[in-house]
Amino acid sequence: MAENSAKQDISHRISHNNLHIKCTAFEQQEANTVLGLMQKFHKNCQRIFIDVRDIAKPGRSVAQSFKNALSTCAIAPQQVIFKGSGGFDLAINGNRVLVKAPAEKTKAKPKGHVCCGRCKNCHCHDHEHD
For residue range 66-83, list pLDDT tens digits in order. Answer: 999 999 999 999 999 999
Domains of the chain: 2-98 (3.30.750.24)
Helices (H), the chain: 2-9, 28-41, 60-72, 87-90
**Section 14-34 average pLDDT:** 95
Report the C-alpha dihedral over residues 56, 8, 93, 89, rounded to 10 degrees: 10
Q: Is pLDDT at 94 greater than 80 in this prediction?
A: yes
Of the pLDDT bands very low, low, confident and very high (cuts 50, 70, 90), residue 2 is: very low
Whole-number pLDDT of residue 116: 67
Q: Is pLDDT at 1 greater than 70 in this prediction?
A: no
pTM (global) more than 0.85: no
